[in-house]
Structure 1
Amino acid sequence: MSNLNSSLPLAGVRVLDLSRVLAGPWCATVLGDLGAEVIKIEHPQRGDDTRDWGLRVGSTQTSYFNSANRNKRSVTVDLQTAEGQQIVRDLAKQSDVVIQNFKFGGVEKMGLGYEQLKQVREDLIYCSISGYDRTGPEATRPGYDLVVQGEAGLMALNGEASQPPLKFGVAAVDLFTGMYSAQAILAALFERQRTRKGRHIEMALFDCGLMITSYYGLEALMKGEDPLRFGNAHPSIVPYGVFNAEDGPLVITVGNNGQYERFCREVIERPDLVDDERFRTNIGRAENRATLLPEIDRELGRRKRQDLLERLRGAGIPCGEVLGVHEALTSKRATDAGLVSTHDHPECGSASVLAPPYRLDGVRPPVRRAPPQLGEGTADVLNTLLGLSDERIAQLKAAGVV
Structure 2
Amino acid sequence: MTKPSLPDRPARLMDAPTALDDLLVVDFTRVVAGPACTQTLADFGAEVIKIENPDGGDDTRAYEHAEIGGESAAYLSLNRNKRGLALDLTVPEAREVARELISRADVVVENFSASVMERFGLDYASVAPTNPRLVYCSISAYGRKGPFAWRPGFDPITQAESGFMSLNGFPDGPPVRTGPPIVDMATGMSACNAILLALIARDRLGRGQHVEVALFDMAMAMTGFYGMAYLISGTNPGRFGNSPNGSPTVGVYEASDEPFYMACANDRLYHRLVTEVLGRPDLITDPEFATRKARTANKEKLRSIIAGVFAGDRLENWMVKMKNANIPVGYLRTVEQGFNAPESRERHRVGRIPHPTAGFVPNIEVPLNLELTPAVNPVAAPLLGQHTDEVLRRTLGYSDERIRALADAGAFGKLRKAAETRTS
Same fold by TM (over 0.5)? yes
Aligned twin of 2:283: 273
- 1:208 shift after superposition: 1.0
List gaps (5 residues or longer) in structure 2. 1-10, 413-424
State yes or no: 1:180 paired with 2:180: no
- 1:299-320 Cα shifts (integer Å, max 9, x gaps): 2123211111110111221111
- 1:22-77 Cα shifts (integer Å, max 9, x gaps): 11111101111221110000111311000001311212x21001111111111100
The correspondence for 1:71, drawn from 73, 77, 81, is 81
CA distance 1:395–1:168, shift in 2 (3 Å):
same
Aligned twin of 1:92: 102
Deviates more, 1:354-363 or 1:177-186: 354-363
CA distance in 1, matches of 2:368, 2:356: 28
**What secondary structure, in the 3-state scheme, does the structure 2 residue paired with 1:264 have?**
helix
CA distance in 1, matches of 2:135, 2:191: 12
Q: CA RMSD in A?
A: 2.0
Deviates more, 1:117-126 or 1:389-398: 389-398
CA distance in 2, matches of 1:372, 1:10: 20
The correspondence for 1:42, drawn from 52, 59, 63, is 52
Aligned twin of 2:211: 201
CA distance in 2, matches of 1:49, 1:37: 22
Aligned twin of 2:342: 332
- 1:160-190 Cα shifts (integer Å, max 9, x gaps): 1101011011111111111111111001111
CA distance in 1, matches of 2:271, 2:400: 75
Question: What is the TM-score with the length of structure 2 in the denominator?
Answer: 0.90
The correspondence for 2:307, drawn from 269, 281, 297, is 297
Q: Is the 8 A contact 1:158 1:168 kept in 2?
A: yes
Aligned twin of 1:352: 362
State yes or no: 1:169 paired with 2:161: no
List gaps (5 residues or longer) in structure 1. none
Look up the equivalent residue of 2:113 and give its one-letter code.
Answer: K
- 1:391 shift after superposition: 3.5
Higher relative contact order (CA 8 A, sep 6+): 2
State yes or no: 1:233 paired with 2:243: yes
CA distance in 2, matches of 1:200, 1:178: 16
After superposition, where does 1:2-401 map in structure 2 within 5 Å? 7-53=17-63, 54-59=65-70, 61-235=71-245, 237-361=247-371, 364-401=374-411
**What secondary structure, in the 3-state scheme, does the structure 2 residue paired with 1:277 have?**
coil
CA distance in 2, matches of 1:43, 1:343: 26
Deviates more, 1:141-150 or 1:318-327: 318-327
CA distance in 2, matches of 1:378, 1:220: 51
Q: Is the 8 A contact 2:124 2:136 kept in 1?
A: yes
CA distance 1:387–1:2, shift in 2 (3 Å):
farther
Deviates more, 1:279-288 or 1:81-90: 279-288
CA distance in 2, matches of 1:353, 1:398: 37
CA distance in 2, matches of 1:4, 1:80: 42
**What secondary structure, in the 3-state scheme, does the structure 2 residue paired with 1:347 have?**
coil
CA distance in 2, matches of 1:99, 1:258: 47
- 1:340-391 Cα shifts (integer Å, max 9, x gaps): 2311223322111211111112775244322111111111001111222234
- 1:142 shift after superposition: 1.3
Question: What is the TM-score with the length of structure 1 in the denominator?
Answer: 0.95
Aligned twin of 2:418: none
**What secondary structure, in the 3-state scheme, does the structure 2 residue paired with 1:235 have?**
helix
Aligned pairs, how many?
401
CA distance in 2, matches of 1:377, 1:330: 34
CA distance in 2, matches of 1:161, 1:235: 11
CA distance in 2, matches of 1:196, 1:302: 67
Identity of aligned residues (%): 37
Q: Is the 8 A contact 2:247 2:299 kept in 1?
A: no
Look up the equivalent residue of 2:262 and give its one-letter code.
Answer: I
- 1:186-244 Cα shifts (integer Å, max 9, x gaps): 01111111222010012211111111011010011122132132110121743111212
